[in-house]
């Protein structure tokens, strides 16, 4: 570990202005990142609470904890909260906001006021949706399939749809901000191919945000319009096609899963490079794989509709394209593994999360190929197999990447070190709890247990109990980091500029950084991950 001459600067972004106004009216991307951290954590708790109730109900075969209608509302809110208000914003809005300007050597994002506005939009959208939750809930599933959502459901579809519509603009504007920043505000010498791979992932994610989110925006607007004005876009009674909703919905919602996983992959690239003291193997391949995932991810949405009523020929096309999109993901996994080969592999907490990501994402990704095979999908679609598949990616992948990133950059963000022993233990608890929760679900799905049902045949109880037990362990695992991270803010050891001895512009500035990030605009003459790069700032 590198030592540092200056442990904590007298003036930095956290003490540059006190009081609630200095936070709620800030233009500093670092403070906005922390505002987002508060928001995503809140919504994670709401979504998590839904999950707790679901798993308790599923511990016994009859649906006896809540009524059928309430159960529908539980899994709907779990999905809506987790997808739109946690997984999609978490890494880009928290880690991306904090790191993008620093990693390219800029003072802030291109549009700081727009950045703050994006946060307000996110919070307003979230509050709309929370209102829908507490005033009765929604029972359509997070997928809002028509005609149930437009005609038959008697629940709060409209406020939820509007909440998602509003929050979508937060994603769009954040993506716009990142794209312009990366194109136009790189420091002198910071060429595209000298950027850390995290930035390539964020850039690819931002492309998806900008190209895909508008389509979900118009789609939820159409659902709301159909409910309010009785338009007939998806209504068979006037000749509309409910499957058209699914086309529009999944055109966004499939790339959305890449919005969720690409930033986590970017984090993993950084963690693996730092943890193995080696440049990431095959940098250009990993960079282009990010773009490849973003592009190909837009061509596969029909694989969610194999049994919904799309034609056999279009199913075939989407199936083939879905196999193609696995390739760039696999390239990344191979390259991370090659980076670890003959590297000085470390076992510090962020790296534990990175290794967990690589393994669990591989399982999730491979099971995606099962689902992309039309003949297999006919058997396992809408079963717990699908649920296990996407939770391996979203939780085993994205959340692990998120936690790994939070731990890795925590010293930079807070200036403090957390308790490493507790952190390692938590990572282990999370890994065990996660697998115990979701691996049995692959088996359950294969055996035929449908998703979104809370009553099931007694034969499935053992696997469900294992899953619920795992969920309680996972819950504990998530709570512990919140405690020791908060504790470290006050009592943690001071971190210094570069506690990991890693390479990157963020490690050349102080921990915490000053408001303007750098005392002088850096001049970059080294490649990403080049260990001959300056590792500490010599200008306070």
Partner 1 sequence: MSAHILPKRIYYTIYGILILCTFLTVQIAFFDLGPLNTIAAIGIAILKATLVILYFMHVKYSSRLTAAVVAGSVFWLAILVALTMTDYLTRAWRTFG
Partner 2 sequence: MPEAVRDHSHVPGLAHHFDTLDQQTEATTLGMWVFLVTEVLFFGGLFTVYTVYRSWYPGAFAAASHELDITLGTINTAVLITSSLTMALAVHAAQLGERRTLLIFLAATMLLGGVFLGIKGFEYYHKFVEHHVPGSSFQFEQEYFRHAQIFFSLYFMMTGLHALHMVIGFGIMLVMFWWAWKGTITLEYYSPIEISGLYWHFVDIVWIFLFPLLYLIGRHAH
Is residue 314 close enough to count as binding partner 1 by CB under 8 A?
yes
DSSP letters, 32-78, are: HHHHHHHHHHHHHHHHHHHHHHHHHHTTSSS--SS-HHHHHHHHHHH
Query: First vs last Cα of the chain: how many Å apart?
Result: 20
Is residue 382 close enough to count as binding partner 1 by CB under 8 A?
no
| The entry of partner 1, partner 2, none that residue 417 binds, CB within 5 to 8 Å by partner kind | none
Q: How far apart are CA 535 and CA 540, in angstroms?
A: 14
Number of residues that bind partner 2 (CB under 8 A): 47
- State the minimum distance, in angstroms, from the CB of residue 330 to partner 2: 29
- State the minimum distance, in angstroms, from the CB of residue 181 to partner 1: 14
Query: Any idea which residue has 């809370």 for tokens?
Result: 454
3-state secondary structure of 383: strand
Query: Which residue number, 225 or 425, has a Cβ lying nearer to partner 2?
Result: 225
Give the one residue of 62, 64, 113, 183 binding partner 1; rule: CB under 8 A. Answer: 183
How is residue 93 annotated by DSSP? I
Q: How far apart are CA 189 and CA 527, in angstroms?
A: 10
Give the one residue of 310, 348, 377, 506 binding partner 1; rule: CB under 8 A. Answer: 310
| The entry of partner 2, partner 1, none that residue 106 binds, CB within 5 to 8 Å by partner kind | partner 2
Is residue 214 close enough to count as binding partner 2 by CB under 8 A?
yes
Judge if the upstream peptide bond of residue 308 is cis by omega within 30 degrees of 0.
no
Beta carbons of 517 and 106 less than 8 angstroms apart: yes
Task: Choose the binding region for partner 1 from 39-47, 97-105, 298-306, 529-537 (rule: CB under 8 A).
Answer: 298-306
Q: How far apart are CA 203 and CA 199, in angstroms?
A: 6
Binding positions for partner 2, 78-137, rule CB under 8 A? 106-112
Rg (CA), the chain: 23
DSSP letters, 193-256, are: GGS-HHHHHHHHHHHHHHHHHHHHHHHHHHHHHHHHH---TT-GGGT--HHHHHHHHHHHHHHH
Give the one residue of 134, 311, 347, 458 binding partner 1; rule: CB under 8 A. Answer: 311
How is residue 16 annotated by DSSP? S
Beta carbons of 189 and 524 less than 8 angstroms apart: yes
- List for the chain the helix, strand, coil content (%; round to 5): 70, 0, 30
Task: Choose the binding region for partner 2 from 65-73, 79-87, 182-190, 193-201 (rule: CB under 8 A).
Answer: 182-190
Is residue 180 close enough to count as binding partner 1 by CB under 8 A?
no
Is residue 219 close enough to count as binding partner 2 by CB under 8 A?
yes
Is residue 239 close enough to count as binding partner 2 by CB under 8 A?
yes
Is residue 231 close enough to count as binding partner 2 by CB under 8 A?
yes
Residue 386 in tokens: 């699908």
Is residue 151 close enough to count as binding partner 2 by CB under 8 A?
no
Q: How far apart are CA 259 and CA 90, in angstroms?
A: 10
Binding positions for partner 1, 199-258, rule CB under 8 A? 211, 215, 236, 239-241, 243-244, 247, 251
| The entry of partner 2, partner 1, none that residue 310 binds, CB within 5 to 8 Å by partner kind | partner 1
Is residue 348 close enough to count as binding partner 1 by CB under 8 A?
no
Is residue 191 close enough to count as binding partner 1 by CB under 8 A?
no
Which residues form the interface with partner 1 (CB under 8 A)?
A: 183, 211, 215, 236, 239-241, 243-244, 247, 251, 298-299, 301-302, 310-314, 317-318
Which residues form the interface with partner 2 (CB under 8 A)?
A: 106-112, 172, 176-177, 179-181, 183-189, 210-215, 217-219, 222, 225, 229-233, 237-241, 244, 247-248, 251, 520-521
């Amino acid at each position: 570990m590198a030592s540092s001459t200056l442990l904590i600067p007298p003036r930095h972004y956290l003490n540059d202005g006190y009081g609630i106004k200095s936070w709620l009216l800030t233009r500093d991307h670092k403070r906005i990142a922390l505002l987002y951290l508060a928001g995503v954590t809140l919504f994670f708790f709401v979504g998590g609470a839904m999950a707790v109730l679901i798993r308790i109900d599923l511990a016994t075969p009859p649906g006896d904890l809540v009524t059928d209608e309430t159960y529908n509302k539980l899994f709907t809110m779990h999905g809506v909260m987790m997808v739109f208000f946690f997984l999609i914003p978490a890494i880009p809005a928290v880690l991306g906001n904090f790191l993008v300007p620093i990693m390219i050597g800029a003072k802030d994002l291109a549009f700081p006021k727009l950045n703050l506005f994006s946060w307000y939009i996110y919070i307003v959208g979230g509050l709309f949706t929370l209102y829908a939750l507490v005033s009765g809930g929604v029972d359509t599933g997070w997928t809002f399939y028509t005609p149930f959502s437009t005609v038959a459901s008697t629940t709060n579809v409209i406020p939820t749809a509007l909440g998602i519509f509003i929050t979508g603009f937060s994603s769009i504007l954040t993506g716009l901000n990142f794209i312009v920043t990366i194109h136009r505000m790189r420091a002198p010498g910071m060429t595209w191919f000298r950027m850390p791979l995290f930035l390539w992932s964020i850039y690819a994610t931002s492309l998806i945000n900008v190209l895909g989110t508008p389509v979900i925006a118009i789609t939820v607007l159409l659902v709301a319009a159909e409910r309010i004005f009785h338009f007939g876009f998806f209504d068979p009674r006037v000749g509309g096609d409910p499957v058209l909703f699914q086309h529009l919905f999944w055109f966004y919602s499939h790339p959305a899963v890449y919005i969720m996983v690409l930033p986590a992959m970017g984090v993993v690239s950084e963690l693996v490079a730092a943890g193995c003291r080696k440049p990431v193997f095959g940098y250009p391949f990993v960079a282009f794989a990010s773009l490849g995932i973003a592009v190909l991810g837009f061509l596969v949405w029909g694989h969610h509709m194999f049994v919904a009523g799309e034609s056999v020929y279009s199913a075939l096309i989407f199936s083939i394209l879905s196999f193609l999109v696995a390739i760039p993901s696999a390239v990344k996994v191979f390259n991370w593994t090659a980076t670890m080969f003959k590297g000085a592999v470390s076992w510090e907490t962020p790296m534990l999360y990175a290794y967990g990501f690589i393994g669990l994402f591989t399982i999730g990704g491979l099971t995606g190929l099962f689902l992309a095979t039309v003949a297999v999908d006919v058997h396992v679609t809408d079963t717990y197999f699908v649920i296990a598949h996407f939770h391996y990616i979203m939780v085993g992948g994205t959340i692990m990447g998120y936690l790994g990133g939070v731990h890795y950059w925590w010293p930079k963000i807070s200036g403090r070190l957390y308790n490493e022993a507790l952190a390692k233990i938590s990572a282990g608890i999370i890994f065990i709890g996660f697998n115990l929760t979701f691996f049995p679900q692959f088996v359950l799905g294969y055996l035929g247990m449908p998703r979104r049902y809370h009553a099931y045949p007694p034969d499935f109880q053992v696997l469900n109990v294992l899953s619920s037990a795992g969920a309680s362990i996972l819950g504990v695992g998530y709570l512990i980091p919140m405690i020791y991270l908060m504790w470290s803010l006050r009592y943690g050891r001071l971190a210094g500029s570069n506690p990991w001895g890693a390479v990157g512009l963020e490690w050349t500035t102080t921990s915490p950084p000053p408001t303007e990030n750098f005392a002088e605009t850096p001049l970059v003459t080294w490649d990403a991950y080049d260990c001959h790069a300056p590792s500490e700032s010599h200008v306070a």
